[in-house]
Amino acid sequence: MAAAAPAPVAGHAHAVLRGRLCDPAFVHSCLRSSPDTNYSKLKYLVASSVSEACNNSVLLLGPRGCGKGAVLDMVLEDLRKEHPDAISVIRLNGMLHSDDNCATKEIARQLCLEHQLSFSKMASSDDNTEFMIDMLRECGLAHKTVIFVLEEFDLFAQGKQRLLYSLLDAMQSLTSQAVVIGMSCRLDADQLLEKRVRSRFSHRKLLFVPSSLDDIQRLMEHLLMLEKDSSLPTNYVTEYNSRLTSIFSNKKFKGVLDSLTDTDATTSNILRFLFRVVSYMDMESGLLSMECFTDALSSMQRQPKMDSLQDLSILELYILVCMNRLEDKEQKSYNFNTIIKEYKSIQDAYKTSDKYATTVCFRAFEHLLDRELITFADTKGRNVALEYRPVKLLISSRELAQSLNLNTTCPAVLQKLLDRERYM
Amino acid sequence: MSQPITPRRATRATAFAPDSPTSPPKSRPKSSHRRQLLAAAAGPKEGEPLDALLDALPCRRAQATDLLRLLAPAPALPVLLHGGAATGKTRALLLALRHLRPSPRLVYAALRSLPSPRALFASILSQLNALSSSSSSRQRVPDKPSDFIAALRDALAAVVAQGELVYLVFDNLEVARGWDKGGQLLSLLLRLHDLLRLPQVVLVYVSSATPDAYYTMTGSVEPNHVYFPDYTVDEARDILMRGQSNPKLYSSFLGVVLKPLFRVTRRVDELAALLEPLFRRYCEPLGDLQAVPDEGMRRRLFEHLQPHLAVALNETFSVPMRASVEKCKDDISGGKASVKRQFGGRDGLSSELEFHMSVSAKYLLLSAFLASRNPATLDAALFDSTGGSDNRNRKRKSSQASIDRKDTMAEEILMKGPGTFPLERLLAIFQCITSVSEDVLDEVDCPDSMMDGSGTNALMSDVLLQLSTLCNSNFLFKSRSCPLEGSARYRSNIDEDLALKVARSVGFPLSKYMYRR
């Protein structure tokens, strides 16, 4: 019986599931079995250039979070097992090594590390480049493949592309034996290359796309189903799995899945969702329920702007409404002083109890700036006093109207002010 | 009481410390309080039950449990805490981390107090080196991101190898957007999870900006969000009620004041600072502070408080100077009449000047104010030998068209703010107004000036020195030299109220010289 399952079992299952979700190798391991995936294509490509001792280059393209890096890691791991001494991997990241000198230095450092050589920090960039070319030749002679992994490939294509050129140029010689694998979330990454680089690049591209709904369901099962032969008690596993199967076949679950994938169907988004689901697990019984899924979905679909609009005090709302009125009057720019003028005129017209001094309004104005619901319209002019700098709204009037409707404490005058000017 | 009240700095101490929201705010800065928390979070304290944690985080039950669930067992995806200022983000996080068992290593970097990427890198690495205590302490601080990542990975790997968890916290993430190359740094920080590939390291970001502020820079692993909403009225009341010596009295006080103040601000730290002097006033008619109020007494106390409440609403957030605090004391004896007079004044501010300044500096400030507000073309008309009276006659004759033109000009002034002026114009106006007021000065005896018959000369001395003083104290703003004219231009930063106060203190008829449509 589920309720009788002691808490340690739940804790253990919880830890297992979290460990799975945080381990990219496990997440993508189901690709290994199926043919005709990017995994098998990439593996074939790299494995053939290792075994046939030739040079190659390939680009992995696709939006972030589709598993480019994870697939590559799996391929490299497999190759390391199959050819234990025949490959060495050099990893560079465009965010860190887009500077040419820095990149050559890093290559030299990793090459030294791989081949148990001592690395000199003082070596110049030319020395490092020369060293790299020598090493490529040596490795080629020893039938060892050097695999260069360039993450954020598009960032290497900024500037003079000296690194890419020297890498790809070194691969033109017969002696060398290297594979360059670029990864980028820019689908036009190969168009960024200069002519001299592009001509040396083999135009192999693998496209990664967000998975289909069926794949996602399979992925979820793969991630959440517990195995029978694990260290967990068998009756707990059966109970857990049958619960999960019934959830998966539930119609409501299909709705949750649809609304999740409508916004973002990448694997990373699914992982984040499942992570939340697992964190909502009932720690008494160690079972997942439909509520876990719906709660996780609602917490992922928050609208931050609407949330912070709900957090405003009445005075802050008044200022927003004033700004909205000014924008509707097509005043091309306005600042705190004009807002206050508008505010005062409203207060004079309606005689509300919310008439406050300018200093108080200014503090509310600053709160709004802090919350980033409004911002300065210009970037320069830092030396002008705040009340004279032109500002603009960062929310639409629809959002404002919606939040006023939701706000129970909002005075009726405010809604009237907002509504009226819309029909005028 | 003589201590100036500083609403911003005492925030967490007054708003959250369960001991004393009503005692005079200690000038304990936020950072030291936070450091205490940090020290406590790092120290090997005995495990406390969940209830104690939730008790220390009033009205944050949902957020705290959410946070614990997301952070709890070791491998965890990055988490982003966001929400407005003073909603308890950092406190909840640090207390939750302290609650975790086995207690993890905590590396805490508040970007607000680390002014540059280099300082951030140094702080994180030094915390890690101190923790792992073995590796070379004489390391050079890396300033390139690549070196930093390499060093960080090594340091973290060393800690993780000992079987420990590391929680890497980046507080005030929104600040980095304003930094030089801040966008690059942020995308680096937000992608640390991918770059490090260490499952035993959990990344936590705290930001007062909403997550969409980082969308352009985020990487493949977007953090999980935990939202901290502002407190509602009831929650704010619960928080403010904590640790009151006489809860009944305080709750009747809050029943009167909280709702109106809540319409102005919802930040508990500001409310706490604001309520404290009001409560003291509320208690004034009471002999015994421990008395339990009945209906009649409540009404009496409310009637006593009501006029003060109206003032307080409009004085919200203005930090009283020492002088005006003294004055408030006098008002207490003065009773209702003086309060009303004060309220009747412009924006409820006191009409007295709250600082001392030499007479020549005052005149200089006034002339700068005039130079900034008046169009330069009117100088001749305003300051010619016949004085202001003739000028007023000329004004009346203006046609409708010119009035319209002046209207748009006034609008423009409202938009553009004070104008800039060269030094020559300032000096000319200064000379004019000091010479005009010479006869006034003869009659009025100024106690704090050393003027005699040759007053003008005395005033003109050291004028540049005074000017630089005014610039340094931010009354005037000095812009970089204009490319066309080559000389520096100035702008006055003071508003009309202050200018009028200064004019009144030297007996100068400022309004006569001010250009109005």
Report the pLDDT value the prediction gives residue B108, as an integer from 0 to 100. Answer: 93
Report the pLDDT value the prediction gives residue A1, as an integer from 0 to 100. Answer: 36
Residue A337, domain member (yes or no): yes
Query: A262 and A147: one domain?
Result: no
Report the pLDDT value the prediction gives residue B330, as an integer from 0 to 100. Answer: 46
Higher-confidence position of B250 and B397: B250
- Which residues in chain A are closer than 8 Å to B230, comparing Cβ atoms? 311
Structure confidence at residue A422 as a pLDDT band (50, 70, 90): low
Residue A359, domain member (yes or no): yes
Query: A188 and A327: one domain?
Result: no
Report the pLDDT value the prediction gives residue A262, as an integer from 0 to 100. Answer: 87
Residue B440 touches partner A, C-beta closer than 8 Å: no
Query: B377: exposed, middle or buried (C-beta count within 10 Å: 0-12, 13-18, 19+)?
Result: exposed
Is the separation of the CB atoms in B502 and B366 below 8 Å? yes
Q: Is the pLDDT of residue B247 over 90?
A: no
- Which residues in chain B are closer than 8 Å to A313, comparing Cβ atoms? 262-266
Query: A367 and A264: one domain?
Result: no
- Which of B28-42, B133-147, B216-230, B290-304 is least confident? B28-42
Q: What is the pLDDT of residues A110-132, one digit of tens each?
A: 999 888 888 888 888 888 888 98
Report the pLDDT value the prediction gives residue A183, as an integer from 0 to 100. Answer: 92
The verdict on a CB contact (< 8 Å) between A304 and B211 is yes
Closest residue on chain B to A387 (Cα): B417
3-class DSSP assignment, residue A309: helix
Q: How many CB atoms lie within 10 A of CB A315?
A: 24
Is the separation of the CB atoms in A34 and A156 below 8 Å? no
The verdict on a CB contact (< 8 Å) between B75 and A23 is yes
- Which residues in chain A are closer than 8 Å to B149, comparing Cβ atoms? 96
The verdict on a CB contact (< 8 Å) between A383 and B347 is no
Query: A234 and A93: one domain?
Result: no
- Which residues in chain A are closer than 8 Å to B67, comparing Cβ atoms? none
CA A153, B120, B142, A97: dihedral to nearest 10 degrees?
0
Q: Work out the average pLDDT over A320-339.
A: 87
Which residue, among B11, B82, B210, would best test binding to A if mutated, counting the most A CBs under 10 Å from its CB? Answer: B210
Give the span between the Cα atoms of A232 and B177, in whole angstroms: 47
Structure confidence at residue B387 as a pLDDT band (50, 70, 90): very low
Q: What is the pLDDT of residues B161-206, one digit of tens each?
A: 888 889 999 999 999 888 888 888 888 888 888 888 888 899 999 9
Q: Is the pLDDT of residue B447 over 70?
A: no
pLDDT winner (highest mean) among B257-271, B348-362, B400-414: B257-271
Q: Is the pLDDT of residue B457 over 90?
A: no
Q: How many residues does chain A have?
A: 424
Q: Is the pLDDT of residue A368 over 90?
A: yes
Q: What is the pLDDT of residues A372-390, one digit of tens each?
A: 899 888 776 666 777 888 8
Query: A355 and A298: one domain?
Result: no
Query: A328 and A384: one domain?
Result: yes
Q: Is the pLDDT of residue B23 over 50?
A: no
Task: Name the token pair of B318.
Answer: 């203005």
Taking chain B, what is the end-to-end CA distance rounded to the nearest angstrom?
45
Report the pLDDT value the prediction gives residue A282, as an integer from 0 to 100. Answer: 83
Structure confidence at residue B21 as a pLDDT band (50, 70, 90): very low
Q: What is the pLDDT of residues A63-87, one digit of tens each?
A: 888 888 888 998 999 999 988 888 8
Q: How many CB atoms lie within 10 A of CB B285?
A: 12
Query: A249 and A286: one domain?
Result: yes
By Cβ distance, the residue of A19, A299, A385 closest to B75 is A19
Residue A112, domain member (yes or no): yes
Q: Is the pLDDT of residue A320 over 90?
A: yes
Query: A264 and A329: one domain?
Result: no
Residue A8, domain member (yes or no): no
Alpha helices in A115-226 (DSSP H): 125-141, 153-156, 162-170, 195-198, 213-224
Which residue, among A73, A303, A360, would best test binding to B if mutated, counting the most B CBs under 10 Å from its CB? Answer: A360
Boundary (domain end) residue, out of A166, A192, A207: A207
Q: What are phi and psi of B492, to 5 degrees?
A: -95, 135
Residue A3, domain member (yes or no): no
Residue A105, domain member (yes or no): yes
* Angle (nearest 5°) at CA B324 between B321 and B325: 85
Q: Work out the average pLDDT over B2-21.
A: 39
Query: A288 and A321: one domain?
Result: no
Q: Is the pLDDT of residue B452 over 70?
A: no
Task: Name the token pair of B258.
Answer: 């909280």
Residue A91 touches partner B, C-beta closer than 8 Å: no
How many angstroms away from the CA of B436 is the closest CA of chain A? Answer: 31
Residue B112 touches partner A, C-beta closer than 8 Å: no
Report the pLDDT value the prediction gives residue B448, as an integer from 0 to 100. Answer: 45
Q: Is the pLDDT of residue B458 over 70?
A: no
Give the span between the Cα atoms of A400 and A274, in whole angstroms: 33
Structure confidence at residue B15 as a pLDDT band (50, 70, 90): very low
Give the span between the Cα atoms of A203 and A359, in whole angstroms: 64
Residue A32 touches partner B, C-beta closer than 8 Å: no
Residue B164 touches partner A, C-beta closer than 8 Å: no
The verdict on a CB contact (< 8 Å) between B224 and A272 is yes
Report the pLDDT value the prediction gives residue B228, as an integer from 0 to 100. Answer: 92
Alpha helices in A284-411 (DSSP H): 290-300, 304-310, 314-328, 336-350, 358-371, 397-406
Is the separation of the CB atoms in B230 and B266 below 8 Å? yes
Quickly tell me which residue has 């290994």 as its tokens: A32
Is the separation of the CB atoms in A126 and A136 below 8 Å? no
Q: Is the pLDDT of residue B438 over 90?
A: no
Cross-strand partners of B167: B106, B202
Report the pLDDT value the prediction gives residue A382, as an integer from 0 to 100. Answer: 61
Give the span between the Cα atoms of B202 and B67, in whole angstroms: 13
Task: Name the token pair of A92.
Answer: 């560079």
Residue B315 touches partner A, C-beta closer than 8 Å: yes
Report the pLDDT value the prediction gives residue B352, as an integer from 0 to 100. Answer: 66
Task: Give the residue among A303, A392, A252, A284 at the shortest CA–CA distance from A9.
Answer: A284
Q: What is the pLDDT of residues A167-207, one digit of tens each?
A: 888 888 878 888 999 999 888 888 888 899 988 888 889 99
Boundary (domain end) residue, out of A207, A224, A251: A207
Q: Taking CB atoms and an 8 Å cut-off, how many pairs form between chains A and B?
A: 155
**With a CB-CB cutoff of 8 Å, which residues 183-202 of chain B face chain A?**
184, 187-188, 191, 194-195, 199
Higher-confidence position of B236 and A419: B236
Kindly report the CATH number assigned to the domain that includes residue A322.
Answer: 1.10.10.10
Give the span between the Cα atoms of B500 and A273, in whole angstroms: 61
Query: A278 and A315: one domain?
Result: no
Q: Work out the average pLDDT over A30-47.
A: 82
- Which residues in chain B are closer than 8 Å to A311, comparing Cβ atoms? 84, 229-230, 266
Report the pLDDT value the prediction gives residue A316, as an integer from 0 to 100. Answer: 92
Structure confidence at residue B145 as a pLDDT band (50, 70, 90): confident
Mean per-residue pLDDT of chain A: 86
3-class DSSP assignment, residue A204: strand
Boundary (domain end) residue, out of A302, A334, A362: A302
Q: Work out the average pLDDT over B408-415.
A: 72
CA A372, A374, A375, A376: dihedral to nearest 10 degrees?
-160
Give Cα separations from B187 to A182, A305, B79, B216, B296 (angstroms).
19, 22, 15, 9, 62
By Cβ distance, the residue of B69, B221, B265 closest to A313 is B265
Report the pLDDT value the prediction gives residue B31, as an integer from 0 to 100. Answer: 52
Task: Give the residue among B216, B487, B489 at the shortest CA–CA distance from B372.
Answer: B489
Give the domain range for residue A399.
307-423
Give the span between the Cα atoms of B211 and B219, in whole angstroms: 13
Residue A133, domain member (yes or no): yes
- What is the dihedral sign for C-alpha B274, B277, B279, B281? negative
Residue A101 touches partner B, C-beta closer than 8 Å: no
Q: What is the pLDDT of residues B305-355, one digit of tens each?
A: 888 887 777 765 555 444 444 444 444 444 433 333 333 333 444 556 667
Q: Is the pLDDT of residue A308 over 70?
A: yes
- Which of B39-53, B248-262, B361-375 is least confident? B39-53
Q: What is the pLDDT of residues B484-498, one digit of tens each?
A: 666 778 888 787 888
Sheet holding A56-61, edge to edge: A87-93, A145-151, A178-184, A56-61, A204-207
* ipTM of this complex prediction, to 2 decimal places: 0.89
Helix pair B89-99, B30-42: axis angle to 10 deg: 20
Residue B244 touches partner A, C-beta closer than 8 Å: no
Report the pLDDT value the prediction gives residue B305, as an integer from 0 to 100. Answer: 84
By Cβ distance, the residue of A266, A315, A372 closest to B264 is A315
DSSP secondary structure code for residue B127 in this structure? H
Mean per-residue pLDDT of chain B: 74
Residue B343 touches partner A, C-beta closer than 8 Å: no
Report the pLDDT value the prediction gives residue A365, as an integer from 0 to 100. Answer: 92
Query: A267 and A311: one domain?
Result: no
Report the pLDDT value the prediction gives residue B44, as an integer from 0 to 100. Answer: 42
Alpha-carbon Rg for chain A in angstroms: 30
Give the span between the Cα atoms of A139 and A127, in whole angstroms: 18
3-class DSSP assignment, residue B162: coil
Kindly report the CATH number assigned to the domain that includes residue A47.
Answer: 3.40.50.300
The verdict on a CB contact (< 8 Å) between A383 and B477 is yes
Query: A62 and A182: one domain?
Result: yes
Residue A7, domain member (yes or no): no
Number of domains in chain A: 3
Give the span between the Cα atoms of B23 and B19, in whole angstroms: 9
Residue A378 touches partner B, C-beta closer than 8 Å: no
